[in-house]
Amino acid sequence: MLNQRGQLLRAAVGFAGCSLPSYDRALWALRTWLDSWAGIGHVAVGMHRQGYDLQLTRYDTRRDSRGWRLVLVAAVLFDTVALAGCAAEGTTRILSYYGDWKGAGGGTRPVPHEGIDFDASLGDPAIAPADGTVLRVFVNGICGNGIEVQHLVDEVFWRTRYCHLDATNVQQGQEVKRGDVLGKVGTTGNSARVPHLHFELRQGQPSGESFDRINPLPFIVGCFDPAKTYSTLDVSSGNPRLVLTYPVRCGGSIK
């Protein structure tokens, strides 16, 4: 059991591109916490809030009654490490997750959250998480000042949306590169007057006639680094995939 947890910890850290932490100490803390019912409870609640399916590993729980814990461990490790980004310059904080009922201001939403709310200060740059083309710049009562960008990966179109901007910095039809400033974080629209960036991801269907809204978090690989090249090739399968970086600056990163 310890060895399997260790493999999951190493896999999660490697997935995020982090340098391996003090392995024995981190693993011991993880094992102690997860061996308590309180720890299991916190993980289960977090998974439920983010819509996880418990069938996330190939571990055979029928042979080992403790196997279901490994499913929880795998989910929380991959999600936590992906969220942290493990970048030297720090990371960014999430106020409200995809599917969350809690609003950025702490209130309860009428429907599950359709994006991710990233914490930011008023006037902070909203940055493009991938290369793309600006589809539209718009204003409405819910999103406030918004921008929608289309991204093409292996003949599949994806769309990202940015809401509650104080100002926009792009125009319809403009080509943008990862890291370009799209606008400034604000409190326009239904933002509960809390400065933050609402970020959505939509995946195009093969018919090209509709787009499905999905959780952006699994596609985010960490903080944007202008010196780094972000490959869209999934080395595990050899297929192209969408690669996003955070749409806001991480602590102490680019100015």
pLDDT the model gives residue 73: 52
Task: Give the Cα separation of 240 and 242 in Å (integer).
Answer: 7
Mean pLDDT rounded to a whole number for the chain: 74
| Per-residue confidence band for 207, with pLDDT thresholds at 50, 70 and 90 | low
| Per-residue confidence band for 255, with pLDDT thresholds at 50, 70 and 90 | very low
Task: Give the Cα separation of 42 and 31 in Å (integer).
Answer: 14
pLDDT at 161 over 90: yes
DSSP lists the bridge partners of residue 147 as 137, 162
Mean predicted confidence (pLDDT) in 132-157 = 95
| Per-residue confidence band for 89, with pLDDT thresholds at 50, 70 and 90 | very low
Mean predicted confidence (pLDDT) in 49-56 = 43
The model's pLDDT over 92-123, given as tens digits with 9 standing for 90+, comes to 888 888 888 888 887 888 888 899 999 999 99
Task: Give the Cα separation of 15 and 19 in Å (integer).
Answer: 10
Which DSSP helix (H) or strand (E) runs through 213? strand 211-214
List domains and CATH numbers for the chain: 2-84 (no CATH), 94-219 (2.70.70.10)
pLDDT the model gives residue 111: 84
Task: Give the Cα separation of 220 and 201 in Å (integer).
Answer: 11
Largest CA distance in the chain: 58
pLDDT the model gives residue 154: 87
pLDDT the model gives residue 206: 65
pLDDT the model gives residue 233: 81
Within 8 A by CB and 6+ apart from 245, the residues are 127, 129, 130, 178, 179, 220, 221, 222, 223, 224, 225, 230
pLDDT the model gives residue 78: 47
pLDDT the model gives residue 208: 63
pLDDT the model gives residue 200: 96
pLDDT the model gives residue 224: 92
